[in-house]
């Protein structure tokens, strides 16, 4: 979104126009654009307002009803912390007794909003001037929240008893995967705990365990089955170092699996076993936290093959940390063999899951030439080293999308 358009939105005319818009409807967007211009509104202002209308609708998935009172940029919304996760961040600072927190790299203010909602004074620091202006608007309802346009590492931390940092992980060419190339670099951010021990850092879920200090507790977080971030916590914000997985369901309920007290310990491996009645797919947060072996023991299950995160066992033990499937059949994997099997079952809609098999599900679906009224789930993976197709019925967990 152009900066000039955003500035126009911050005027009384812009606020009035934005408040007058109906709920977003993609089918009506072009007609609404024409009507507003015909009514005499400036085209640049109309474009900015309609962009906000669209972004607010998308933002409801992260911010709920708060989205209707906030302003966004495309990139800022992509990087913003979901409110259900930000609330858990904020609760750590509340339980640690923090009264004033610096939110370094605050973006659009999602985490600052959650802190302020708990009565914690918060100062957001944001390097991008436009984003800082929008964060100021988003935090207007909280008198003890403010936003400073400036560099995170240059900000005076003396007044604070807690720091939250979210280093930028995108550059001009897209995502930046090297933590030392983030802005600010991750090692320098971790160094802030020498000045304020109550330090929390939001990092990409793919961060390597070797990038984490030994005194850190790293928590991988999934929401509705999608891994959204890892949080790295220090000092009074955590009970002890290590790694854990936080799984939050669609209703906002969370469950934590404590995987290890050593943040650098390698993920334990268990010997694989033969395919049993049930197949369990661990949540991605559990996998990234290195908790698959621990979960297998809790489920009385075993991996289906070396280095494959599907687990199999005879007992159905519902858990928030995995989806469960009942095994209906299995066969060595080939496109021809699988097509014949599905045709015999009359399967016309198929959900394809895979792990450890180099297959493009969309391309495979076209090659299978599905016909019929039945639907099925097939898991392509290795069973004790052999490429296999496992026909299953989902027992617990969130359903995937059936594609005809």
Using alpha carbons, select from 93, 381, 143, 356 the residue that is nearest to residue 103. Answer: 93
CB atoms within 10 A of CB 35: 12
* pLDDT for residue 289: 98
Produce one character per residue of 244-263: b if its CB has 16 or more CB atoms within 10 Å, e if not.
bbbbbbeeeebeebbbbeeb
How far apart CA 93 and CA 203 sit, in angstroms, is 18
Q: Are residues 135 and 187 in the same domain?
A: yes
Has residue 295 been placed in a domain? yes
C-alpha neighbours within 13 Å on the C-beta side of residue 285: 30
Please enumerate in sequence order all residues whose Cβ is within 8 A of that of 25, keeping only pairs 6 or more positions apart, or say none: none
- Which residue is listed with tokens 């004790």? 384
* pLDDT for residue 403: 33
Q: Are residues 288 and 207 in the same domain?
A: no
How far apart CA 166 and CA 229 sit, in angstroms, is 11
Has residue 347 been placed in a domain? yes
- The torsion angle over the Cα atoms of residues 86, 89, 90 and 95, rounded to 10 degrees, is 160
Has residue 72 been placed in a domain? no
Has residue 268 been placed in a domain? no
Q: Residue 239: which domain range?
A: 77-260
Query: Taking a C-beta distance cutoff of 8 angstroms, is the pair 128, 151 a contact?
Result: no
* pLDDT for residue 170: 82
Q: Give the 3-state secondary structure of residue 210.
A: helix
Q: Are residues 248 and 367 in the same domain?
A: no
Has residue 154 been placed in a domain? yes
Q: Are residues 55 and 103 in the same domain?
A: no
Structure tokens at 312: 């199999």
Q: Are residues 101 and 223 in the same domain?
A: yes
* pLDDT for residue 5: 72
- The torsion angle over the Cα atoms of residues 212, 213, 214 and 218, rounded to 10 degrees, is -40
Distance, CA of 227 to chain centre: 5
Has residue 270 been placed in a domain? no
CB atoms within 10 A of CB 289: 29
Q: Identify whether 216 is preceded by a cis peptide bond (ω within 30 of 0).
A: no
Beta pairing, strands 322-332 & 278-282: antiparallel
Boundary residue ending a domain (230, 260, 290)? 260
Eight-class DSSP state of 156: -
Q: Are residues 57 and 128 in the same domain?
A: no
Output phi, psi for 370, to 5 deg: -70, 135
Q: Are residues 139 and 234 in the same domain?
A: yes
Q: Are residues 292 and 353 in the same domain?
A: yes
Q: What pairs with residue 363 in β-bridges? A: none
Q: Are residues 286 and 225 in the same domain?
A: no
Q: Are residues 40 and 83 in the same domain?
A: no
Q: Are residues 51 and 90 in the same domain?
A: no
How far apart CA 113 and CA 66 sit, in angstroms, is 10
How far apart CA 133 and CA 1 sit, in angstroms, is 14
Domain tally for the chain?
3
Structure tokens at 321: 């940390």
Distance, CA of 12 to chain centre: 35
> How far, CA to CA in Å, does 175 sit from each of 168, 204, 319, 372?
9, 10, 34, 42
Structure tokens at 364: 């495979």
Q: Give the 3-state secondary structure of residue 104.
A: strand
Q: Give the 3-state secondary structure of residue 273.
A: coil
Structure tokens at 117: 């909602």
Structure tokens at 31: 């007609």
- Which residue is listed with tokens 């999608």? 226
Has residue 269 been placed in a domain? no
Confidence (pTM): 0.91
How far apart CA 278 and CA 291 sit, in angstroms, is 19
Has residue 404 been placed in a domain? no
CATH number of 256's domain: 3.40.50.150
Using alpha carbons, select from 199, 130, 132 the residue that is nearest to residue 162. Answer: 199
Beta pairing, strands 199-203 & 162-165: parallel
Q: Are residues 45 and 143 in the same domain?
A: no
Instruction: Please report, in tens digits, the pLDDT of each residue of the chain (404 residues total).
Output: 567 677 788 888 988 999 999 989 999 999 999 999 999 999 999 999 999 999 999 999 999 988 998 999 998 999 999 999 999 999 999 999 999 999 999 999 999 999 999 999 999 999 999 999 999 999 999 999 999 999 999 999 999 999 999 998 887 788 889 999 999 999 999 999 999 999 999 999 999 999 999 999 999 999 999 999 999 999 999 999 999 999 999 889 999 999 999 999 999 999 999 999 999 999 999 999 999 999 999 999 999 999 999 999 999 988 999 999 999 999 999 999 999 999 999 999 999 999 999 999 999 999 999 999 999 999 999 999 999 999 999 997 654 333 33
CB atoms within 10 A of CB 394: 16
């Amino acid at each position: 979104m152009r900066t000039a358009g955003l500035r126009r939105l911050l005027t009384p005319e812009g606020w009035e126009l934005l408040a007058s818009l109906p709920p977003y409807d993609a089918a009506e967007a072009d007609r609404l654009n024409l009507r507003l211009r015909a009514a005499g509104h400036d085209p640049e202002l109309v474009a900015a307002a309609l962009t906000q209308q669209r972004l607010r609708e998308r933002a409801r998935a992260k911010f709920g009803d708060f989205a209707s009172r906030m302003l966004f940029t495309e990139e800022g919304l992509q990087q913003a912390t979901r409110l259900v996760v930000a609330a858990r961040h904020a609760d750590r600072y509340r339980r640690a007794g923090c009264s004033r927190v610096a939110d370094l790299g605050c973006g659009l203010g999602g985490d600052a909003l959650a802190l302020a909602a708990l009565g914690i004074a918060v100062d957001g620091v944001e390097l991008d001037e436009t984003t800082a202006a929008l964060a100021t608007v988003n935090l207007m309802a909280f008198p003890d929240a403010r936003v400073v346009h400036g560099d995170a590492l240059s900000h005076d931390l003396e007044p604070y008893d807690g720091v939250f940092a979210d280093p930028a992980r995108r550059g001009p060419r897209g995502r930046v995967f090297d933590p030392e190339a983030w802005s600010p670099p991750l090692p320098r951010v971790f160094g802030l705990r020498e000045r304020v021990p109550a330090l929390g850092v939001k990092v990409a879920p793919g961060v390597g365990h070797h990038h984490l200090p030994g005194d850190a507790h790293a928590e991988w977080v999934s929401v509705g089955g999608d891994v959204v971030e890892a949080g790295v916590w220090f000092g009074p914000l955590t009970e002890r170092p290590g790694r854990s997985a936080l799984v939050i369901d669609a209703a906002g309920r969370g469950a934590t699996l404590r995987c290890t007290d050593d943040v650098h310990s390698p993920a334990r491996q268990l010997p694989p076993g033969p395919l049993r009645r049930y197949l369990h797919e661990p949540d991605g947060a559990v996998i990234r936290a290195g908790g698959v072996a621990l979960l297998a023991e809790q489920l009385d299950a075993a991996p289906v093959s070396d280095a494959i995160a599907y687990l199999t066992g005879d007992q159905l033990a519902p858990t928030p940390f995995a989806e469960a499937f009942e095994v209906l059949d299995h066969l060595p994997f080939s496109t021809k063999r699988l097509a014949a099997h599905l045709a015999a079952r009359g399967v016309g809609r198929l959900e394809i899951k895979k792990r450890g098999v180099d297959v493009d599900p969309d391309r495979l679906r076209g090659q299978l030439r599905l016909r019929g009224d039945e639907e099925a789930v097939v898991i392509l993976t290795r069973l004790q080293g052999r490429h296999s197709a496992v026909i299953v019925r989902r027992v617990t967990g969130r359903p995937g999308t059936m594609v005809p």
